[in-house]
Amino acid sequence: MIIKGRRQDLDQQAANLLAQSLKAALARQPQVSFGVVGGRSVENVLKLLGSEQVDWSRLHLFMVDERLVPSDHPDSNYNLVFPVVSSYMVSANLHPFLQEPGQEQAALERYRRKLDPHGGRLEVLLLSSGEDGHIGSLFPEHETIDSPDDYFLVTKSAPKPPPQRMSASPRLISRASSAVLLFFGKGKQQAFKNCLDDAVPVRECPAAIVRTIENHFILRDSEGGYS
């Protein structure tokens, strides 16, 4: 589903859609994994989500991607998300990606084991596209979008700084049952077009992975213009 409108309205609509998806998943299973990205586009959506009537005690939050910086670093995606969701989610159910330099593969394995009790997938996703069409830390025509990993991956050559990053793999993202993808802000018009263009391969626009998810919602704000 493609939804266009004013940013203020879309923030609330995204929160509503996420709440509906989370409640539907909770009706099917006792615990649900919720995958989120960092970035300013998702901040207000997560704030609004806290006002929705969801059984937060049964939700487990995982990072879709993370910059490989110290856990207290201001560039950490988790450090952007945590202050917002900590007011309504159970702290024990918030799962940052923690790693020590040189121990990235061990950290990936630990993160996978945390996800295993939840069916080995991120059930509901909140994603935001970059101007180049990247989602999480899956970048166009890069080793990340070519990854065959079933769960999470690490790269040391991301084209955006910092180059060292963790990301959910293309396969893990595609296994979600629901996803909300945001195209907010100027400069994303071409990425939005590419995402919807069947002639553009996923390798050139990773955001298009979302269209393979059964219940997906793609939101585009008017700041960047429609077409």
Please tell me the predicted confidence (pLDDT) of residue 99.
84
Average pLDDT for runs of 10 along the chain of length 227: 93 97 97 94 95 96 94 88 95 93 90 94 97 97 96 95 96 98 93 96 98 97 66
The answer for 168, left when phi > 0, alpha when psi is -120 to 50, beta otherwise, is beta
Q: What is the pLDDT of residue 115?
A: 96
pTM for the predicted model, two decimal places: 0.94
**pLDDT score of 29:** 94
pLDDT score of 74 = 87
User: What's the rounded Cα separation, in Å, for the pair 43 and 55?
Assistant: 20
95, 118, 97, 94: which is closest to 107 by C-alpha? 97
Fold topology of 2-224: Rossmann fold (3.40.50)
pLDDT for the residue 226:
55
- pLDDT score at 103: 87
Q: How far apart are CA 176 and CA 188, in angstroms?
A: 24
Amino acid at 57: S
